[in-house]
Structure 1
Amino acid sequence: MPAGTCPGTGRTGPDGPQRGSRTVKWIVYLLLLVNLGVFVWHYRTDDTSAVAPAATAGLDEAVLSLVLLQEYQQQKQGNESRWCYSVGPFETKQQARTAAGILHAAGITAQRRLSSEARRKAYWVLLPPAESREAARKHIARLKQLKVKDYFLVQTGDMVNAVSLGVFTRFESAHRRIKEMQALGFKPGFEKIDLPKREYWLDWPQETGPSLPAGVLEKIRKISPEGRQVERRCS
């Protein structure tokens, strides 16, 4: 007797249509799951192919930055631990070139360095600060009337409202300027100040060249009477 047929009647029982309906539903669900799986796989494949180059580029940049940072730190540590010989000072670039030639003849290859660490004394001639800006301008007007050159009004700092009459590296020149202003009826004074001094030095690492022989240093002093050799950290 076929399944789902009532005995003695030949008619299909109630379980037959229900089983067929459930089978169709499962087939539909299965097809939906397959289609959904294909869609997700395709989407992830496209998304991965689009994002991968950017992610790889970001990784490459991070690795490169790390390598450069390590190289910089190693170079910095190396410079801090290295010592150089240095000879100078030289007032002009030409003097430094001539001295570099002397060193080269002695088997030393040096690099020229410009330094502003040194200081030189100077004398600032000026009319003392006036009580007000208006009073200071009267000094300016009088200097202009007398056709005095090289002056300016100090507008800031401790010497505000003073009138600068020049800065001189030699006391004789400053004294001469003071006498000129006194002859015109002014009462100038002067201040001692320190100015940066530009000078050249020649440096070479200690591991690449020897210390200066006495004979070479004597030749250097013919170019710069103050010539000397010192040791300093390589820059």
Structure 2
Amino acid sequence: MSNIGFYVWSQKLSAPQNKSFTATDPGIIKLKLLSELPKAPIRTLEPAPKNTAATTVNQICYSAGPFDSEASILATEELITPLVLKTSVRKLTTTQEAGYWVYLPAMPTRAEALAKGRELAAAKVKDYYVVTAGNHENTVSLGLYREQYNADNRITELTRKGFAVQKEVRIEQWPEFWLDYSITDEQLGALPELATDTISSNEVSCQNS
């Protein structure tokens, strides 16, 4: 027991020994952690300039139209797309006066509208029609005229016979299609002729996109 006690006492009081290690094989390069390497200066990369058709070529812009149908303009766009820089289709609504409508305002009932028709017939007024359905139900139509003076002559005739007629301008609306495209001088020679009797192709200012 005294020997065990002496051993424990000597181990506690004695200083720990430093152990040295050597590489197993001589000549091996010592490994280093990434955190131990010297830090290199950070380089800031400048963004590369974008090369677009608008900046690399001298483009010319045109607008062709009007095309009377979507099918015809899409066929033309498909034809020229491989030959130009870019294309786009625009749809517009065109409004035009279509004529002048002469009429008697709608009556409260159909019976009254039919009675007014009989009055017109008795006054020897021809070319009238009692509207029996739709937005103008019970209105008495007295003609649609392309020229204003013809409508005014009709109004004068009916006013002299005692009928309080009215005139309304009729408006027609229909779609128009326009093809916008940009092209270079070199591509112009390969582009087919787009202008016809009803379609024109005019140079316009290029819009940045």
Structure (1/2) with the larger strand percentage: 2
TM-score by length of 2: 0.39
Identify which of structures 1 and 2 has the higher relative contact order when contacts are C-alpha pairs closer than 8 Å and 6+ apart.
Answer: 2
Structure (1/2) with the larger helix percentage: 1
TM-score by length of 1: 0.36
